[in-house]
Amino acid sequence: VAARGAPGGGADAAASADGDGLRPVVAIVGAGFGGLRAARALAQAPVRVVLIDRHNHHLFQPLLYQVATAGLAPADIAQPVRSILAGQRNLDFHMAEVQAVDLGRRTLKLPAGDLAYDYLIVAAGGQTNDFGLAGVLRHGFGLKDLQDALRLRNHLLYQFELAAQTDDRRECAALLTFTVVGGGPTGVECAGAISELVRLVLVRDYPWLDQADVCIWLLEAADRLLPAFAPPLQRAAWQMLGRRHVHVRFNAAVDAFDGATVTLRGGETFPSRTLIWAAGIRAADLLNRLGAEQARLGRVVVTPTLQLPGRPEVFVIGDAAYLEQDGQPVPMVAPAAIQQGRLAGENLQRLLRREALKPFVYRDPGLLATIGRNDAVAQFGRRTFRGFLAWVLWLSVHLVQLIGFRNRLVVLINWAWDYFFYDRASRLITSR
Ligand SMILES: Cc1cc2nc3c(=O)[nH]c(=O)nc-3n(C[C@H](O)[C@H](O)[C@H](O)COP(=O)(O)OP(=O)(O)OC[C@H]3O[C@@H](n4cnc5c(N)ncnc54)[C@H](O)[C@@H]3O)c2cc1C
């Protein structure tokens, strides 16, 4: 396609019929929470937006664990970028992996050729961080994209099929031991969801299955769960997991995993065929190739206006960006990426109009984590909630945040069906 901004075209490529060729090109890398909001914020701006993502869809990562535990189907939590931004006339979408950024020449390296930009917004997000631990991601499961979630769903369900075919009790115990690593919201929600999948659904699929045969570990290297929450909520979440027969172990750091045995720091080992790594995220690989200053977890240091120091035409936002507020880094969460995406779009337009740029101020909308049906913890400033009320809040907030009316409706129907009929519609093993 010889559109302006297409790979090989560049900023000086032939203008399109509607005169868009005269407009500055804004390239946005990543159609996640931040990139999508930045693109929308530029809908009325006199620019040509080129949005690039390696996937053709926007993914609602907070519900990935529900795909992994057979509660939702992939299409329920993802939506094609082209359909989300269909009405935006100043935008082109490219499904491509950005291999490198040449800040000096103002070009992005894509498989099909170079793409020139006038302004750049990097919203490439994060990726699973295994801290270099042996075998953890090779034999275990990260949870960052749909492929990860489907791989985990297939594996979890297949363990029960294998267990159904063995008389060896030790083998059966290893197959039915599920180890979740990381006591943050993802680990807690994942451990709770596996427990409910087993206790409420799979016991009916496998009548021989005794709940006592299934062991779910939640390993946390520190001495508490949900570190960002108030201590009473941390304790409440621990008790809620206990009621679901999830064994929480504190001060337990994983050292290695070979697909059959988990090794803890200190040398202790135990058999488990499943290790789910929910213990860390770092900035996406692309940020290592930007040639900019990086802080903790590979995040790129930005100015308060979200620009790269010395490069006013480049904005970095979301999980990829490092900015401190009140002495603390802005957290790697969806609301921060959304708020930064909006501000990057606004600041870019201010830059075009030669107006002063606004500094970023993070507004914390609160914290939520669900442990299972009727049980969640929630914190809004000093107000805390737990149990059923927090669970309803969790459901409502996640439904509202999902993109697309169809997805909201399908997820609502799915949740209602699961709630009333103790069922999980998506328990298909589609590959081994
Ligand atoms: C399992 C899980 C659960 C979570 N739960 C919550 C939660 O409950 N609440 C909450 O607030 N936050 C949660 N988060 C964190 C939240 O999802 C992130 O903070 C948020 O997605 C960051 O937004 P972003 O725009 O920076 O990056 P992302 O949303 O990750 O988007 C980055 C995009 O960039 C694309 N990309 C990356 N590199 C390239 C490249 N080289 N070329 C082309 N495209 C590229 C990716 O495909 C992706 O689409 C969760 C995260 C995970 C993984």
Q: Of the candidates 50, 263, 20, 16, which has an alpha carbon nearest to the alpha carbon of residue 139?
A: 263
| pLDDT tens per residue across span 136-167 | 999 999 999 999 999 999 999 999 999 999 99
The finding on whether 123 has its CB within 6 A of some atom of ligand 1 is yes
Residues with active-site annotation: 189
- pLDDT for res 285: 97
The C-alpha atoms of residue 32 and residue 30 are separated, in whole angstroms, by 6
Gap from CA of 125 to ligand 1 centroid (Å): 5
CB of 97 sitting under 6 A from ligand 1: yes
CA 245 to ligand 1 centroid distance, Å: 30
User: Residue 29's pLDDT is what?
Assistant: 98
185 close to ligand 1 (CB < 6 Angstrom):
yes
What atom of ligand 1 comes closest to residue 317's alpha carbon? 26
Q: What pLDDT was estimated at residue 217? A: 98
187 lines ligand 1 (CB under 6 A): no
List of the chain residues with pLDDT < 50: 1-18
Residue 336 is predicted with a pLDDT of 98
| pLDDT the model gives residue 95 | 98
d(CA 68, CA 72): 8
Q: How far is the CA of 417 from the centre of ligand 1 (A)?
A: 28
**pLDDT tens-digit map of 300-314:** 999 999 999 999 999
Ligand 1 near 390 CB (within 6 A) = no
pLDDT reported for residue 323 = 98
Note the pLDDT of residue 13: 39
Distance 401 CA to ligand 1 centre (A): 14
> Looking at residue 20, what is its pLDDT?
64
Q: Report the atom number in ligand 1 closest to the C-alpha of 369.
A: 8
Contact 52 CB / ligand 1 (< 6 Å): yes
Atom number of ligand 1 nearest to Cα 62: 5
Q: What is the pLDDT of residue 255?
A: 96
- Residue 211 has a pLDDT of 83
pLDDT of 15 reads: 38
Residue with tokens 């299955």: 209
